[in-house]
Amino acid sequence: MQLLILIVQEEDADGLCKRLATLGFRFTRLNTLGGFLRTANTTLLLAVRDEDVEQVLAIVRACCRTRTAIVNPMPWAVEPGQPSFGAVLTPLEAQVGGATVFCLPLVRALHLPDERPIMPAVTSPSSPPTSLESPVHLILAIVHNDDAGPVTQALLTAGYRLTRINTAGGFLRRGNVTLMVGVEPRQVDEVIGLIRAHVRPRVESGSESAYGATVFVLPTTRFVHI
């Protein structure tokens, strides 16, 4: 199983999200900013089986395209006390758009509070191994806005450091929060237990039952505080 991180241009995001949702792919959406031109873009997180990766990539290719944009470069900053020469800056033509995709192997992926696996783990021969002996695991926990405070407080009280990102889930952009926590493998179950104890399922519009949290566990090669 893989976690795909899709970074796409804002103009393509709605069409891509609609297409993914129509085909049954669930995702979390982040409004981001990227590139030298600092153009607005969208980052999507979604977990898929190994055999579904190419299907998702095909959808991205169909929905995302490159464009030629005319941009005005920012002038160099002028040091205090130095005169400004008032140079006229020529607009530049640049290629923007398309998509950037990262594929990351998953150790675990589950819904809380019932700890139901998101999907059976199916590993294809070409997939990189997911080592459970990774020195540190990265836990991405996507929780409802109303549960974010209690979950955050429980993790901090237990001594875990975390990063909180305000995100949106699914095509309807329901408000939620993504928490990033780096832990040793032996601590994964404790963190999942703390999250499970402080989230609850809800009924969304249309009487669709929603899970209290979605949790991804990824191996890392290094974890450094600087």
Pick the CATH number of 2-76+86-101 from 3.30.70.120, 2.30.110.10, 2.60.40.10, 3.40.50.970: 3.30.70.120
Domain boundaries, the chain: 2-76+86-101, 107-219
> Does residue 223 carry a pLDDT above 80?
no
pLDDT at 172: 45
pLDDT at 92: 62
Same fold, 2-76+86-101 and 107-219: yes
DSSP symbols for 33-70: EETTTTEEEEEEEEEE-GGGHHHHHHHHHHH--EEEEE
Altogether, the residues listed in the chain come to a count of: 226
State the average pLDDT for the chain: 79
Q: Which residue matches tokens 């329901």?
A: 174
Of 5-14, 56-65, 156-165, 202-211, where does mean pLDDT reach its minimum? 202-211
Task: Identify the CA nearest to 53 among candidates 124, 137, 140, 132.
Answer: 124
Topology adopted by domain 107-219: Alpha-Beta Plaits (3.30.70)
Q: DSSP letter at 104?
A: E
CB 199 within 8 A of CB 141: no
